[in-house]
Chain A
Amino acid sequence: MEINKVLMVDDDQSIRRICQVSLANVGKWQVILAESGYDGLELARKEKPDVILLDVMMPGMDGPTTLLKLREDDELKHIPVILMTAKVQPQEVEQYTRLGATGVISKPFDPLTLPSEIRKLLCA
């Protein structure tokens, strides 16, 4: 699938910063940033990204809850969602996949290879 626009949702500014550089400079994609699940849902409705990267552990609405809301929304449920989390366990990957995630990327990630990891998950 072709990727033009990516929405990245993470409450940690340091991760948003390095993700933006990676996705824009290495992936050559347009990057939209959100710092909470609530903002992520709003921006997803407005911007209709090709893929959403979603942090798992966020205050307020966490990643899995945001994922469920995306999957309940007729206009957004087709958008692939990749969850991102530190020290992910295999059973957590299964759990997130059951919730409707396209895949999981473990943090930390290499900013030089993050876009290719995303492409691989979308092609799997």
Chain B
Amino acid sequence: MIGNKDDAKDSEAEYDEALDDVLTTLRREYEDELPTRFAELKEYVQKAKDGGEKQLEWLAQAHTIAHRLAGTAGSYGLAELSNAAGVFDAYCKHLLKNKAHSEESRDAAPSVTPLDWQEIEAMTNAIFESHPEKRYSPPS
């Protein structure tokens, strides 16, 4: 009976180890994809900052990327990245909601202010810097 218990424990330990291996592999794959996501985020922020008719569309795209990072990175064990992306997510959500509300109520839609852009750029950099093992150097 004792032998059976030990066998069960061994098998559980092996199983946990196997699951750990799978999760580690998934995390590595996720980390490999991060530079692409960071580059996309930077591109959409820059496009939005450049202005034009699609400014809000670009900002919404940047928001989507940050929202996904906020929700996903933490599940892969990257809490700092998840938190940094969460700050960007919340800021953009609020900004886009206000813009949509202004347009619906036919008020003069307030433009994204220089202060907003400063905040957004700082938050974008915080995202890039939150993953020191694979620190991303955004293209200048």
Contact = CB atoms under 8 A, between A and B. Distances in A.
A25 B14 CA distance: 13
A86 B82 CA distance: 10
B79 to A, nearest CB: 8
Interface residues of A, number: 19
A14 B74 CA distance: 11
Interface string A10-51: 001011011001000110000000000000000000000000
Contacts of B72: 12, 14-15, 18, 107-108
B96 to A, nearest CB: 12
Interface residues of B, number: 22
Contact of A86 (B29, B33, B71): B71
B75 A110 contact: yes
B90 interface: yes
Contacts of A120: none
A51 B15 CA distance: 26
A84 B76 CA distance: 16
Contacts of A111: 23, 75
Interface in A56-111: 57, 59, 84-87, 107-111
Nearest to B25: A21
Given A14-B33, A18-B26, A87-B86, A108 B71 contact: yes
A109 B75 contact: yes
Nearest to A109: B75
B92 to A, nearest CB: 11
Interface of A: 12, 14-15, 17-18, 21, 25-26, 57, 59, 84-87, 107-111
